[in-house]
């Protein structure tokens, strides 16, 4: 029956497209959260993949045995995880900067629960993370991410592309991870240096006034200095992260060079 065949084709397209998006959503911090109910997340995921059905349907489908079909699903999910990891680095960088600054200003004990990531985070870490989410949408990062994801279905057909794991594939992820840690230190360094100078100043004051509790006194001073420097540096932060979001599509294409 034509209706039954249409439903079978629809289910086949959904089964071919969803694993890559599911792997991506699992790792990407913005969508792999408990902020939305699971059925809403699945509805959003399916809605994003509908436009890919004609492309996937036009690609040749070889006759696979059941075990090979399972391997294809696992392969697609792992590709999505790899892309989700690379796309999530700017968000984790912003949160890491806030966590480092909070640790130095003595507010690391004031952790709070982040419903977006379902983890404990610090006040500045949560604030910067939410600011980067806002920037992600208003700067066109979401559009660039979707364009990059859609492009991967053209350069990596679901049923005919099987990645090869070379040594430089591991090197790419190690390089991106080290770059992520280096960016945290770089962005937080002006505030860290200021915190260090304030600590030295408080130590000198305590030398001449031993009864003065400089630890309690230094916390509001460090907090005020950290907030002031964050406001001053926020424009540079936004420019850096906006560039990272614009390069998401190119970042996904970079994986094509290491997986072939």
Q: Which of 150, 110, 137 lies closest to 126, judged by CA?
A: 110
Angle of helix 248-259 relative to helix 66-104, nearest 10 degrees, comes to 130
Q: Which run of H or E residues covers position 121?
A: strand 119-121
Give the mean pLDDT of 127-133.
89
CA atoms within 13 A on the CB side of 204: 5
DSSP class of residue 119 equals E
Q: Which of 62, 119, 66 lies closest to 91, judged by CA?
A: 119
- β-pair partners for 112: 121
Give the mean pLDDT of 178-197.
89
In Å, how far from its chain's centre is CA 211?
47
Summarize pLDDT for 33-73 with one digit per residue, the tens. Answer: 666 677 777 788 878 887 777 777 676 666 566 777 788 88
Q: Which of 153, 137, 145, 160 lies closest to 248, judged by CA?
A: 145
> What whole-number distance in Å separates Cα of residue 116 and Cα of residue 50?
25
Q: Are 122 and 108 in contact (CB under 8 A)?
A: yes
Summarize pLDDT for 72-100 with one digit per residue, the tens. Answer: 888 888 888 888 888 889 999 998 898 88
Residue 118 is predicted with a pLDDT of 64
CA terminus-to-terminus distance, the chain: 41
> What whole-number distance in Å separates Cα of residue 246 and Cα of residue 260?
24
Band (246; pLDDT cuts 50, 70, 90): confident
Angle, CA of 142, 144 and 149, to the nearest 5°:
95
- Global pTM reads 0.82
Cα-based distances in Å from 172 to 162, 167, 179, 249, 255? 18, 9, 10, 16, 9
Residue 108 is predicted with a pLDDT of 63
């Amino acid at each position: 029956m034509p209706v039954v065949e249409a439903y079978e084709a629809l289910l086949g397209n959904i089964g071919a497209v969803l694993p890559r998006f599911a792997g991506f959503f699992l790792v990407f911090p913005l969508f792999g959260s408990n902020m939305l109910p699971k059925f809403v997340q699945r509805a959003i995921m399916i809605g994003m993949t509908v436009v890919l059905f004609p492309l996937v349907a036009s690609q040749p489908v070889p006759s696979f045995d059941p075990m090979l079909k399972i391997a294809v699903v696992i392969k697609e999910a792992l590709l999505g995880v790899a892309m989700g990891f690379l796309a999530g680095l700017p968000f984790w960088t912003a949160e890491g900067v806030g966590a480092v600054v909070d640790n130095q200003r003595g507010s690391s004990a004031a952790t709070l629960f982040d419903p977006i990531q379902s983890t404990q985070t610090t006040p500045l870490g949560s604030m910067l993370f939410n600011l980067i989410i806002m920037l992600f949408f208003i700067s066109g990062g979401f559009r660039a991410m979707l364009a990059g994801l859609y492009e991967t279905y053209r350069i990596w057909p679901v049923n005919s592309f099987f990645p090869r794991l070379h040594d430089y594939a591991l090197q790419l992820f190690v390089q991106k991870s080290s770059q992520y840690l280096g960016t945290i230190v770089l962005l937080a360094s002006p505030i860290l240096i200021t915190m260090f100078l304030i600590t030295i100043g408080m130590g000198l004051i305590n030398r001449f006034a031993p009864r003065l509790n400089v630890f309690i006194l230094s916390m509001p001073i460090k907090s005020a200095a950290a907030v002031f420097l964050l406001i001053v540096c926020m424009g540079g932060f936004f420019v850096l992260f906006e560039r990272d979001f614009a390069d998401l599509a190119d970042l996904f294409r970079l994986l094509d060079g290491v997986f072939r």
